[in-house]
Amino acid sequence: MGLARYYRRFIENFSKIAKPMIELLKDKVSFEWNDKREKSFQCPKDKLTTTPVLTLPDLQKNFVVYCDASRQGLGCVLMQDNRVVSYASRQLRAHEENYPTHDLELAAVVHALKIWRCCRTGNKCDIYTDHKSLKYIFTQSELNMR
């Protein structure tokens, strides 16, 4: 699993795919192999052995980031010229599982900005999310610390 996690940026929805396997790593979880875990084990292997359709970033061009969140995790795609440069995803932390949807969507945006330096260093970067309530953030003078 560690090797697959290293290559997570090349696998779309990695956190969602790997969740059944990662659950086995938690304390006090009994080892029970089932079809769901077998699929979770095989899918990253299959994706790593097929040719990914990624492009190298060109720092002279603009970037586009698409972010989304669900009750299972956060996901982001970094694109340039309508081609995928990189994927990013992670599972929700225990305290995030109770967040409202708009906080999760914003957490996905923050996650993308933390991992993709090109979006923070002067390159133009458009960020898209499918949650309209994030527009609300720009109308507020005070926000919570999350």
**Segments making up each domain of the chain, as ranges:** 2-49, 63-139
This prediction has a pTM of 0.66
pLDDT of residue 1: 60
Assign 3-class secondary structure to 53-109: CCCCCCCCCCEEEEEEECCCEEEEEEEECCEEEEEEEEECCHHHHHCCHHHHHHHHH
Residue 79 or 22, more confident: 79
CA geometry: angle at 93 spanning 115 and 91, to 5°? 60
Give pLDDT, residue 122. 78
Return the pLDDT at 64.
94
| Angstrom distance (rounded) from CA 53 to CA 82 | 12
Domain 63-139 coded CATH 3.40.50.150:
no
For residue range 41-82, list pLDDT tens digits in order. 888 878 777 766 688 999 899 999 999 998 889 999 999 998
Q: Which residue shows structure tokens 């260093």?
A: 121
Q: What is the pLDDT of residue 54?
A: 81
74-113: buried (b, 16+ CB within 10 Å) or exposed (e) per residue?
bbbbbbbeeebbbbbbbbbeeebeebeebebbbbbbebbb
Residue-level pLDDT at 65: 94
What is the structure's pLDDT at 46?
82
What would the pLDDT profile of 91-127 be if each residue is shown by its tens digit? 999 999 999 888 899 899 999 999 998 777 878 889 8
Question: What is the average pLDDT across 13-27?
Answer: 85
How remote is the C-alpha of 76 from its chain's centroid? Answer: 4
> Could you tell me which residue, 50 or 14, shows the higher pLDDT?
14
